[in-house]
Structure 1
C-alpha cells in the first residue's frame, strides 16, 4: 500500500492549503473533544499539525509509524516524537486522556490491532478521535494531498470497526468542505468556506472525523472474545 512519507507530509502541511487544513482539523477536533487541564494527548500517524492545538493545556506526544518515518516536533523545544510499531506502542496502559489517529488508520495493515492499542493506552472513558479520508468526497480521489492515499472510509464502515473494539462512537462530523483544487488562494478559500458549505450538508467534508470513548465494561474486542469463548468450551 502506497503511503506518504514523513517528508511529503511535512511539505504538505507547510503549504497554504496544508496550513489551512491543519487549522480547520484542529479546531474541529477541539470542538468534539474535552481534554482535562494537564491531561495527556497521544497522536498516531502524522499528528503534529493538530496536536499543536492542545499544547497550551495538555502534555502531547506524536507517535509516527516506522514505515512513514519520523521528524522533530515541536521545532521550538525538545522533540516529542517517537518512531513506533503501530501494533505495539511504547505507552503505558490507561495513561492517555485522548488518542488522535490521523493519517494512520487508512494505512494500517492491521486496523483492528491499531484500535486495540488505542483502547489499551486510554484511561477509562478516555477519548479517541479518528480522522480518515471520506470515501464519498474528492479529497480521497486526488493524490495531491495526504488524504488521497490509503483506504478511505464511510461513516458506516468506521462506526462498525470501532464498535467491534469497545470504542463505540458518540459523535461524528466531517471537515475540509472545499475540494483541494489547484486554485490561487485555495488555502484561504478552505478556511472561509468551511462554515457556509457545512450548512449544505454535514457529510460534504473530505475528512471524516469520529469521536468515541473507551468502554471498559462488556465483551472483549471481537477477535479476543471469540478466542476466549473457544478456550472456555474446550477447557484449554
Structure 2
C-alpha cells in the first residue's frame, strides 16, 4: 500500500527520517550528472532530497520541480518560494517529449501498479541521453520487510530485477550504489547509528544497503528496427 503524503512528510521529519535522507542523498549525488541549465524533476516524494541537492549544487529551488502521484497526494514546497509541486497522473506526465535532462524517483517505482508504463513515460519525457536516478527498496535487506518506514511498502527489487526492467525499457544502467547499511531503528538514539555504520558496513559489501540507487540513461538507438540499425551501421563500416 502506498503511503500518503502526510505519512511520508512525517517520516522525514522524524529522527530516523532526518538520519536517512542525508545518507541516501550523498550516494545519490555521486551518481548524479553535473547540473545543467535545465529543470530537474523529482517524482514520488523527493522534497527532502531536492532540498539537499539544490543546496549542494548551489542552485535555486526554482530549478527543480516536484511531481507527486495523484494516489499519494501533494504538499507545498519549497517553503521560501512559490510552490514548485504538482499533482500528476504517473502514466501521463504533463511534459513534452524529450524535454527533461534529469529525473529523480524516490518512493515511486516500487508503488507503480504498472512499472513498465511508468518507465515508458519516463523514457518519453527524457531528452536523448537524459538521466533517470531511482531509489527503491532492496528486497534482499531488512528495510524492505519492516513496515515502520516508507521503504517497507510497495514492491522491493533486487539489483538483477531492476536492471532487467530498465534495460527492457531502453534505459540502460550506467551506475549503481546502495545506502542504509544498518537495519532500521525507530528510537531516536538508535537512529544516530545509521550514519556511523554506513561506511564500515559498506566495506563488507556494496549490496548490503536497504535501498538500491540506480542511474540509467535514455537510449534512443535501440528504438530503431534491427534492419534500420544494420543499414545505419554498414556505411560507417565500409567507409561509404
Does the TM-score normalized on the shorter chain lie above 0.5?
yes
1:80-159 aligned at under 5 Å gives the runs 80-159=84-163
Give per-residue Cα distances to partners, 1:45-77, cap 9 Å, x unaligned: 101111113323371111100000001111121
Query: Is contact 1:97-1:126 (8 Å) kept?
Result: yes
Task: Measure how far apart 1:94 and its partner are.
Answer: 1.6
What are the ranges of 5 or more consecutive residues in structure 1 without an aligned counterpart? 226-236
Structure of greater Rg: 2
d(CA) in 2 for partners of 1:139, 1:201: 16
Q: How many residues align?
A: 220
Deviates more, 1:51-60 or 1:14-23: 51-60
d(CA) in 2 for partners of 1:184, 1:41: 33
TM superposition outliers: structure 1 runs of 4+ over 4 Å? none
Q: Which structure has more helix as a fraction of its residues?
A: 2
d(CA) in 1 for partners of 2:212, 2:53: 20
d(CA) in 2 for partners of 1:29, 1:60: 16
Query: Is contact 2:173-2:215 (8 Å) kept?
Result: yes
Query: So what's the TM-score if we normalise by structure 1?
Result: 0.89
What are the ranges of 5 or more consecutive residues in structure 2 without an aligned counterpart? 226-240
Task: Measure how far apart 1:16 and its partner are.
Answer: 1.4
1:57 to 59, 64, 87: 59
d(CA) in 1 for partners of 2:87, 2:171: 25
d(CA) in 2 for partners of 1:41, 1:145: 26
